[in-house]
Amino acid sequence: MKINKLENWNLQESNPLIIAGPCSVETPQQLEKTVEVLVNNGIRIIRGGVWKPRTRPNSFEGVGSPALSWIRDIKSKYGVKFAIEVASPQHVEEALQAGMDILWIGARSTVNPFTVQEIANSLKGVDIPILVKNPVNPDLALWIGALERIHHAGIDKLGAIHRGFSNFNDEIFRNSPTWQIPLELRTRYPELPLINDPSHICGRRDLISQISQMALDLNFDGLMIESHIDPENAWSDAAQQLTPYALSELLNTLETRFPTT
């Protein structure tokens, strides 16, 4: 794969790349309050779920399209970039129309080659970064296959997000990190930016710092971390979200790079 280097993605971002924001966009107020504090603490790329793939029905499934106009307002008011998940060509079309800066494919979509191919087809001619989360199951070939499908559609600002793998009896993590899988991906595609998502690995906020540090020690290129102004009352993933204040403290305590000499 011929990948465009992260430095050329025009994100004007820090090294490591930090993407932070709520699991789900819930209300205009929740979004703005969260973004305001994140921005005051130096975060320039916000994440937020618009369409949410929930495990069980009758959970909050995202605000959907109306959230896109709230995001547009926030982007112009705060000058931030915004990343959202897309799971269908319809999502891609709406997200592009609303001016989203980064799109990602979620773990439940990556497992399905039909879905990934449909999304890939809808991305032809698109020049924004596309990130592909690992599939929910620990299958490196499936992750690579999804990345290849997106790459074959002409996307060269391509990256991978490591969000851990489903398990039945891991006592600690919501999704086992199984670090050897992303590390093997990097061995095969050293030019592919690799971002760690400690929030979905941990499933609980007290572990996020240690997984983030581990990712940086392993030279990951960035972190995507969920942050919500009022995590306890979040409409999804309440146990793993950090307040923007706690996130800022956490980032300040991380050792970003070991000396290379």
> Which positions touch ligand PEP (CB under 6 A)?
23, 49, 53, 85, 106-108, 133, 163, 200
Contacts of residue 36, Cβ cutoff 8 Å, sequence gap at least 6: 78
Buried b (16+ CB within 10 A) or exposed e, 201-232: bbbebebbbebbbebbeeebbbbbbbbbbebe
Q: Which of residues 74-93 bind Mn ion (CB under 5 A)?
A: none
Alpha-carbon gap, residue 180 to 9, rounded angstroms: 27
Judged by beta carbon, residue 194 or residue 202, the one nearer Mn ion is 202
Judged by beta carbon, residue 221 or residue 226, the one nearer Mn ion is 226
The residue nearest ligand PEP at its CB is 106
Judged by beta carbon, residue 4 or residue 56, the one nearer ligand PEP is 56
Q: Which of 236, 235, 234 is nearest to 244 (CA)?
A: 234
28-40 vs 244-253: helix axis angle to the nearest 10? 30
Alpha-carbon gap, residue 229 to 219, rounded angstroms: 29
**89-97, 212-220, 233-241, 249-257 -> range binding Mn ion (CB under 5 A):** 233-241
Judged by beta carbon, residue 85 or residue 221, the one nearer ligand PEP is 85
Which of the choices Mn ion, ligand PEP, none does residue 163 contact, using the CB cut-off of 5 to 8 A by kind? ligand PEP
Is 21 in contact with 33 (CB distance < 8 Å)?
Answer: no
Alpha-carbon gap, residue 52 to 68, rounded angstroms: 14
Residues 3-32: x/- map of binding to Mn ion (CB under 5 A)?
Answer: --------------------x---------
Judged by beta carbon, residue 75 or residue 133, the one nearer ligand PEP is 133
Which of the choices ligand PEP, Mn ion, none does residue 186 contact, using the CB cut-off of 5 to 8 A by kind? none
Give the interface with Mn ion as residue ranges (CB under 5 A). 23, 237
